[in-house]
Amino acid sequence: MKSMSQKNKILALLIAFIIIIGVIVILAVGFQFDLKYQEAKTIQLYLQKDFEISDIKQITDEMLPNQKVVLQKVEVYEDTVSILAKDITEEQKGNIVNKVNEKYGIALETDDIEITTIPHTRGRDIIKPYMIPFIIATAIILVYMAVRYYSLGMIKTIVKTGVTIVLAQAILISVVAITRIPIGKFTIPLVLMVYVLSLLGITACLEKKLKEKKEEE
């Protein structure tokens, strides 16, 4: 029992350490965002014909060196390419247009193509659409847990479940901040996965305690 208590203390200290470091990193430098959520610049080239993304990538790799670039086919007929990068200068735009013209035998005019600035997306704006469903689902789960494990103490069960969910998310957020994992399209699925795992963990723990209580009775 003493050994178990010691393990719990070490685990609690480790969790506290991770969260504290995570908070420091967030306050100091914030989160790392995927390019699609950073402030970036984009241009769209109407090629008027079918094309391969790999060909455009070769051009952008040459004209936008040492930059992460997101390429995407747009419009109904997918004859337009969207080029998104952290920064695109007028000179780089001109070079890209010239290379694309040369590659596909077309005559795009540099002056007709505008560099558009995409504003930075805040973290709260990413999670905002999921907040209400998340709160409703959590409320329903807490009510179920309170009823299911009533004999273990309603308030105690609700508090323990709530703390487990919050701690799991706090650890995840801290790890994301510390390791500089970019906030992007996989962030919400990762949050949901940790959410489900934390519920499975607390449920297994409560089931074990409920079984022990029944055996004692």
pTM above 0.75, yes or no: yes
Q: Give me the CATH number covering residue 58.
A: 3.30.70
| Residue range of the domain that includes 128 | 2-32+122-216
- Give me the DSSP letters along 149-208: TGGG-HHHHHHHHHHHHHHHHHHHHHHHHHHTPPBSTTHHHHHHHHHHHHHHHHHHHHHH
Of 118, 152, 177, the one marking the end of a domain is 118
Of 71, 90, 118, the position where a domain reaches its end is: 118
pLDDT of residue 74: 85
Q: Is the pLDDT of residue 13 over 70?
A: yes
Same domain, 112 and 43: yes
Tell me what the pLDDT averaged over the chain comes to: 90
> At residue 1, does pLDDT exceed 70?
no
Query: For 129-186, how does the pLDDT look when each residue is reduced to its tens digit (9 = 90+)?
Result: 899 999 999 999 999 999 999 998 999 999 999 999 999 999 999 999 999 999 988 8
Cα–Cα distances in angstroms (integers) from residue 170 to residues 15, 105, 194, 208, in the given order:
9, 54, 10, 25
Please give the tally of structural domains in the chain. Answer: 2
